[in-house]
Structure 1
Amino acid sequence: MEKFAGAEEWVPPRGGLPKLEAALRDCRGCDLWEHAEQVVPGDGTAKARMMLVGEQPGDVEDVEGRVFVGPAGRLLDKALDAAGIDRDQLYVTNAVKHFRFERRGKRRIHKTPAAGHIVACSPWLTRELRIVKPELVVVLGAVAARALLGTGFKVTERRGEAVELPDGTAAMATVHPSAVVRSEEYRRDFALFVADLRAAAALLP
């Protein structure tokens, strides 16, 4: 595993989400900042009962500087609406805050963050969790699962299952919405994703 300095020295130990977002812009905890357009902070209310954690920004998010606004974000919005969940009441973020990609001609193709990137960026996610204090965390995809639930957790085997983060926070894992976007069985997989979101909402007391 490639090791980086990590984000710890850039993460403010006190203050709320605005202070955290301002500090994010200066982070040099790994090498992803060198090629990304900008850092992409989380978005939503600090009073959210439910937090959604994805993988990393995509191409559109990197350009716009906002989380989940590309194709996967549009699908997530559609699924949340179908599940009866108001996105304005959530806090949505990613395990890794910069876009990792490889160039193919003029296109930037998504590249999965390395284990070193996930570890380096984890202090930001830890701080977000401490500020928001969600009652439930919905883990979207394998990278987020690795960051929050460890390397041994398999989303494919345990999606939709009520689990806990190491600190005891209630959680549930499901696929990343980008997997549904790419699916050859879109209608089936969209319905399964919506069902997972409904099950997650039902875990809230």
Structure 2
Amino acid sequence: MSFDGATRWVPADGGMRKVRSALPDCRGCDLYQDAEQVVAGEGPVRARMMLVGETPGDHEDKEGHVFVGPAGRLLDKALAEAGIDRSQVYLTNAVKHFRFERQGKRRIHKTPAVGHIVACHPWLDRELEIVKPKLVVILGAVAARSLLGTGFKVTEHRGEAVELPDGRTAVATVHPSAVVRSQEFRRDFDHFVKDLRAAVDLLP
């Protein structure tokens, strides 16, 4: 599937406040039709580190904030263990609306399609332009697809320094939701924290 994309809705100038006010009007793909609200990025506008997740989940869609569900709580714990203050990093998602399918009364997360990722990318580009982070932490395959293309495999390069197309340094790791679901939680949580520590070591 392909969509017109978000470009016409993304402010070409101004700061993050202008971005946040423009986001709810975006009709760049079809996800706005079913989601309760758009979920903007949060954090210091001049953060040295930006964390890019995949897409809002059920909790995020209802509350309107990034990483507030089970994956967010796990991320908070991992950040603390890695010596990262969440209040000092900018958190966002590659796709700004929740994609789901209904099972009875439940809304089950559904991975965004490539068309959704491509359509929403102009928002992420604008966030990078405004925040100007020294380092980007890529959380999961959807974020990796948005920032590095289809050829990049998180499982093969997690914890390694990679270069984004704009020359910025990044580190990829799994999405915290994968750790939440893991059958070997302690091993995978420790590996996740190790990746975050590797990111800290790369900060100039």
Please report the TM-score for the alignment, with normalisation by the length of structure 2.
0.99
Letter in structure 2 aligned against 1:117: H
Distance in 1, Cα, partners of 2:30 & 2:109? 16
Structure 2 Cα separation of the partners of residues 165 and 69 of structure 1: 27
Which runs of 5 or more residues in structure 1 are unaligned?
Answer: none
- Secondary structure in 2 aligned to 1:43? coil
**1:141-180 equivalence runs, <5 A:** 141-180=140-179
Opposite residue 139 of structure 2, the aligned amino acid is: L
**What code does the residue aligned with 1:164 have?**
E
Q: TM-score by structure 1 length?
A: 0.99
The amino acid across from 1:17 in the alignment is: M
Q: CA deviation at 1:63?
A: 0.2
- Once the two structures are superposed, residues 72-120 of structure 1 have per-residue CA deviations (whole angstroms, 9 ceiling, x without a partner) of 0000000000111001110000000000000000000000000000000
User: Is 1:114 aligned to residue 127 of structure 2?
Assistant: no
1:132 counterpart residue number: 131
Question: Could you tell me which amino acid in structure 2 is paired with residue 86 of structure 1?
Answer: D
CA positional deviation for 1:32:
0.1
What one-letter code is carried by the residue in structure 2 that aligns with 1:68?
Answer: F
Indicate the RMSD between aligned Cα atoms, in angstroms.
Answer: 0.4
Alignment-mate amino acid for residue 57 of structure 2: G
Between the aligned partners of 1:74 and 1:163, the Cα distance in structure 2 is 27
Paired residue total: 204
Task: Tell me what 1:72 maps to.
Answer: 71
3-state SS, counterpart of residue 97 of structure 1: coil
What CA deviation, in whole Å up to 9, does each residue of 1:138-174 have, x standing for no partner?
0000000000011000001010010010010000100
Partner of 1:40: 39
Alpha-carbon distance between aligned partners in 2 of 1:167 and 1:39, rounded to the nearest angstrom: 26
- Please name the residue that 1:23 is paired with: 22
Which residue type is aligned with residue 102 of structure 1? Answer: E
Which residue identity is paired with 2:77? K
* One-letter amino acid of the structure 2 residue matched with residue 122 of structure 1: H
> Unmatched 5+ residue regions in structure 2?
none
